[in-house]
Structure 1
């Protein structure tokens, strides 16, 4: 079955995570995506981290499936003109270069909408397209620090800690995807495209909603609470069993009563210190220490069995190698295997949204640098001799096959 975005044409001029994540998501659900990369270098993330079969970096692979790839020199006027021809036939352009970078190639929204008024131009930047910091570069770690996310992450008596996943990049990519789909819906009524402008900054502001609300309500900035939730609820945090770590996520009075039953501490149910979340939080040091002492006496499996039977959320703190063996992931098709022609296969995360009538799918492996240059340019009217001439002059590059990448001197993360 065709995906819900079947027939949508997307051009991506993006690097690293946020922009490629957005266009990959559109491609997962049926859009035809063409990724434009630099000749000889490509997307910097091609060189970041361990790779599949020694030739395909995991960082690049995880955001670039379901795309065709071309290699073009955008600094060459002929190369920029070729990409403009592609965009003139596209529904969406996704860009996460620095604000203003594509304008130098004549690929900014104001110029492109003149010849394609239905174009949805999605820009993802560090700080957004306006404001005093609009042209300042930013990346995931930078923005975790700038927006205060790191000030909330880590143990109370320790230093700030980066969140493990690339939360700023991925959230910005999600917001961009939502923005594109909102613009598509609006175009159904108006017939016109528009600019979608989002940023790593605004993605994080959306994630910090409850923390910002607390700040405005109390005047006090939230601080690090370790594994505990906002406010330091002593029954909503990690505890160490005798053979490993687990979390108990008890957040209401009913769950607290059931927790007391499992822990054989019925006196806590009537103790006036523990009658509500707020009072339990007020006495969090005593209660958390008392729970920790009990949990430490039994193995993780014991507590998982008893808390599950009582209806209290409890989970082991899985490592990723343990997570991927969970039956639930198999049942939900959370992992997919993709064939890399001539090499073997690779496994990666699957599609997060299941649609009953128009499901998405993984149809294309992440492209080799310049893999589809020739076929894409043929589709917009160039002949084989035209393409050969452009390649000879360094305007475009065609598929060089799988080969271990040589990391460019300026490629870093």
Structure 2
């Protein structure tokens, strides 16, 4: 471990604080081995507070930070976000933080320490939703639908779901024309964001009835013709086969020795002059242990001793 640290640029770990200390991978020790090291410490809940030394998973952080405050009828059961809100956002935040750490090292010649947590990621992913002002009222929970009628899912005549969006007055006008209710475009009850919020239940009832009269594709065509905003709510099984996703190169396929043929998500970043290239599949546990240790100068006899002692696989 010390050899890796001595020649490395970045170390990332997600041990609890007490475990990191016990294993000797705490910042104070490793920064002495390599003063230029960018040391990244990821925890579940942060290093302070009553949860600091507890273990945690994504859904637990969704519960703790209010993401599961959203409820579904009829029992008002709290539900998760439907995606891994922290597990998927945290790597992007870490990449950003590490880039800043490396940039700081280039300027100062010194390494640095970065601390973050799954809780921080969960809070950051909700930023606007958690903002409170003195004008806010506590509704006691959220429901998908009537509380945000122009930003809610609707069922169409063919049993398929659609999401129309009108966050601005111009977008509301376009929706009215797309849905053949132009007389409501400038109706004072709905003409502004404030009035639409106050009359959201009326709008929801109106749109709910209209969407049930045509298929989803018919509504999508009508919205496109009037430059109104709407998208189909896709089944996850169909997402990676959709035309929009495949056209942008986000579908990735490869063969894996234990999983067989894998259909997955490609890297979301693109450098047109250097397009992403699939080089190798995710490794099996311990598949590259020997390769890494040989690069650190270990010979075959030393590798055998490490394996026999159960230190490496």
TM-score normalized by structure 1? 0.71
1:390 to 1:266, Cα distance in 2 relative to 1, 3 A: closer
Q: Is the 8 A contact 2:175 2:229 kept in 1?
A: no
**2:14 maps to what in 1?**
96
Partners of 2:259 and 2:208 lie apart in 1 by 49
Tell me which of 227, 236, 257 is aligned to 1:311: 227
CA shift in 2, pair 1:222/1:356, >3 Å: farther
Using the TM superposition, give the Cα deviation of residue 156 of structure 1 relative to its aligned residue in structure 2, in angstroms.
Answer: 8.5
TM-score, normalised to structure 2's length? 0.92
User: How many residues matched?
Assistant: 312
Q: 1:194 to 1:131 in 2, by over 3 A?
A: farther
Mapped partners of 1:295, 1:342: distance in 2: 45
Aligned residue in 1 for 2:135: 218
Q: Is the 8 A contact 2:253 2:261 kept in 1?
A: yes
Q: Please give the alpha-carbon distance, in whole angstroms, between the structure 2 residues aligned to 1:89 and 1:387.
A: 20
Where has structure 1 moved over 6 Å in runs of 4 or more?
none
List runs of 5+ in structure 2 lacking aligned partners: none
SS of the residue corresponding to residue 246 of structure 1 reads strand
Q: Which residue of 2 aligns with 1:173?
A: 91
Q: Distance in 1 between matches of 2:262 and 2:4?
A: 30
Q: Describe the SS at the equivalent of 1:235.
A: coil
Asked if the contact 2:241–2:251 (Cα under 8 Å) also holds between the matched residues in 1, the reply is no
CA contact (8 A) 1:390 1:396 kept: yes
Pair 1:364 & 2:280 matched? yes
Once the two structures are superposed, residues 217-246 of structure 1 have per-residue CA deviations (whole angstroms, 9 ceiling, x without a partner) of 435446544335xx9332221111111211
The CA distance in 2 between the partners of 1:233 and 1:348, in whole Å, is 33
Q: 1:261 to 1:343 in 2, by over 3 A?
A: closer
- Aligned partner (choices 128, 132, 156) of residue 241 of structure 1: 156
**Shift of residue 361, structure 1, vs aligned partner:** 3.7
Deviation at 1:182, TM superposition (A): 1.0
SS across alignment from 1:330 = helix
Number of the residue aligned with 1:75: none
Q: Tell me the secondary structure at the aligned position of residue 138 of structure 1.
A: coil
- 8 Å Cα contact 1:156-1:226 kept in structure 2: no
Contact 1:126 1:199 (C-alpha < 8 Å) held by counterparts: yes
Query: C-alpha separation between the residues in 2 aligned to 1:223 and 1:122?
Result: 38
CA gap of 1:166–1:344, structure 2 versus 1, over 3 A, is: closer
Q: Secondary structure in 2 aligned to 1:236?
A: coil
Q: Residues of 2 paired with 1:223 and 1:118: CA distance?
A: 50
Secondary structure class of the residue paired with 1:169: coil
Distance 1:109-1:359 versus aligned 2 partners, 3 A rule: farther
Alignment of 1:203-214 (within 5 A): 203-213=121-131
Contact 1:128 1:198 in 2 (8 A): yes
The equivalent residue for 1:282 is 198
**SS of equivalent to 1:189:** helix
- CA change 1:358–1:100 in 2 (3 A) is farther
Shift in CA distance, 261/157, structure 1 to aligned 2, threshold 3 Å: farther
Q: Secondary structure at the match of 2:100?
A: helix
Distance 1:170 1:180, change over 3 A: same
Find the aligned partners of 2:51 and 2:153 in 1 and give their Cα distance: 38
CA shift for structure 1 position 199: 0.6
Residue matched to 1:328? 244
